[in-house]
Structure 1
Amino acid sequence: MWNSIRERLCSARSASRLSQEAFASRLGVSARSLRDWEKGYDLPALGRLIAWARLLGFRLIVVASEGVLGDPGENVVEGESYEKSELRRLVAPLRIRRRQRSLSQTDMGLLLGVDRVTLASWERASHSPTVENLLAYVGRVRCRLDLEPIEP
């Protein structure tokens, strides 16, 4: 799942004809960080991943067997940062899927190796999970994380 997202972002950056150095500067990170992400040596913070995708014309989505989950305009709050509203949009369907599977926050936290308070803060979008934890959460509710083009 992560490799597919990483490869699509790398391809999109290459297709944009931006060097790693130029793109890293636009993203506000070092060229070394971007290089490590693109090679799969490291994972960005979730906010950086959301920004990386956005700069290349994508957004992260949660996909289940029945299709994309969540509403693109879901949970938009006036004056909220793009990253925060995207986090809200991503976690809303995960919370619903967790509940559909009759998993409490405590149970899901145990599966992910975090406590209930941490999981609750992710589901409220008051804190961001790491990309690793988001991928694990998505997998535990039998979904996948993917990219979709942003509508112009």
Structure 2
Amino acid sequence: MALRVNAAAQRRSNAIQSQLLAARETTGLSRESLSEVLEVSNRTLRDWERRYESPSFTNLLRWAHELGFRLAIVDRQGGPEPPCPTPEDGAPWEVQEIRRLAPPLKSRRLARKISQTDLGLIIGVSRSSLQRWEDGEQLPRLIALIVWADRLDLTVELHPLVEHG
């Protein structure tokens, strides 16, 4: 089964990667410095910034975080961002992030009475993949997260990090 990526989803993915490039340039941080922090090669970061390649979900989260951003799921009708769940002790940071992002997607699916099987067919993934994403057991690629959100009339955005403390 192939992920059903449309032009709008690809543009959204490209826009997020472009926003991260602009954020790096605005801060004056060199590509070399950022690639060192992210533990990827300078060429890899360059390829992400030029949108030749897409980073893994973990690398995307780290890239955004280092530049002061995080991914957010936003209602296209302008509803508020859902509250963040309490971090789980012992769960890796990346897993906590998908567990923060997945609940509004799952809630929207349930509110619309769409089964995991049906939404999986609409997105182009298996029911079991969708279930693992919703349960925070597997990290989707950025484009898959965008397609998943889009099919539920939600969107994925970069929001500035808000430090709690």
TM-score of the pair, normalised by structure 2: 0.86
Q: How does 1:3-152 map to 2 (within 5 A)?
A: 3-64=14-75, 65-72=77-84, 74-152=85-163
Structure 1 residue 17, shift from structure 2 partner: 1.5
Aligned residue for 1:146, secondary structure, equals strand
Q: CA deviation at 1:89?
A: 0.5
Q: Percent identity?
A: 38
After TM superposition, give the deviation of residue 18 of structure 1 in Å.
Answer: 1.7
Q: 1:147, 1:20 → 2: CA distance?
A: 20
Alpha carbons 2:13, 2:143 under 8 Å: kept: no
Asked whether the 8 Å contact 1:13–1:56 carries over to 2, the reply is yes
CA root-mean-square deviation: 1.3
Tell me, which stretches of 5 or more residues in structure 2 are unaligned? 1-11
Alpha-carbon deviations, 1:36-92, whole Å to 9, x = none?
Answer: 1111111111111111110011110001113343212x1521122221111100111
For residues 68 and 9 of structure 1, the distance between their equivalents in structure 2, rounded to whole angstroms, comes to 23
Higher RCO (CA-CA < 8 Å; seq separation 6+) = 2
- Matches of 2:156 and 2:145, distance apart in 1: 9
- Helix, strand or coil for the counterpart of 1:77? coil
Could you list the structure 1 runs, at least 4 aligned residues long, displaced by more than 6 angstroms after superposition.
Answer: none
Give the length in aligned residue pairs: 151
> Structure 1 length as normaliser, TM-score?
0.93
Q: Which amino acid aligns with 1:63?
A: V
62-71 vs 115-124, greater mean Cα deviation: 62-71
